């Protein structure tokens, strides 16, 4: 079966698998104090600027919820398409982390317009 429904369906590509095997050969500090995190952050800073901060997370739901948390306050709402992944698949994760309800707007091909938001 091949599907793009979730990034959790398939295994990793050969390059990632080999990198994991290589990293698994010895002990390493954890929770961001390791050489792998330092190298990743260095590459991100090279690409996006030295002020870049990164918060590595396990999956897309955590990334989406944390990203929304970074740009909202608890008295805000998240306006999104009724077909938005954060509504249909991640259910209450954004609300749980941000305190912001998702207000859905009927979408056409996944898009909403400023007029519909008004």
Task: Report domain extents, the chain.
Answer: 10-56, 57-118
Tokens of 100: 């912001």
Closest alpha carbon to 54 in 72, 42, 69: 42
For 42-64, b/e burial (b = at least 16 CB within 10 A) is eeeeeeeeeeeeeeeeeeebeeb
Rounded to whole angstroms, the Cα distance separating 52 from 46 reads 9
How deeply is 90 buried, as exposed, middle or buried, from its count of CB atoms within 10 A (0-12, 13-18, 19+)? buried
- Give 111's strand partners: 108
pLDDT in tens, 20-78: 999 899 888 888 888 999 999 999 999 999 999 888 888 889 999 999 999 999 899 99
Predicted TM-score (pTM) of this structure: 0.69
């Amino acid at each position: 079966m091949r599907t793009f429904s979730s990034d959790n369906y398939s295994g990793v590509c050969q390059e990632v698998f080999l990198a994991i095997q290589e990293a698994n050969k010895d002990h390493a500090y954890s929770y961001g104090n390791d050489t792998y995190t330092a190298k990743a952050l260095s590459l991100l800073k090279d690409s996006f600027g030295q002020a870049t901060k990164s918060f590595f997370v396990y999956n897309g739901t955590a990334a989406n919820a944390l990203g929304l948390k970074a740009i909202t306050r608890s008295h805000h709402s998240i306006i999104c398409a009724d077909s938005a992944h954060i509504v249909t698949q991640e259910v209450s994760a954004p609300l749980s982390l941000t305190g912001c309800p998702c207000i859905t707007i009927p979408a056409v091909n996944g898009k909403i317009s400023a007029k519909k938001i008004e």
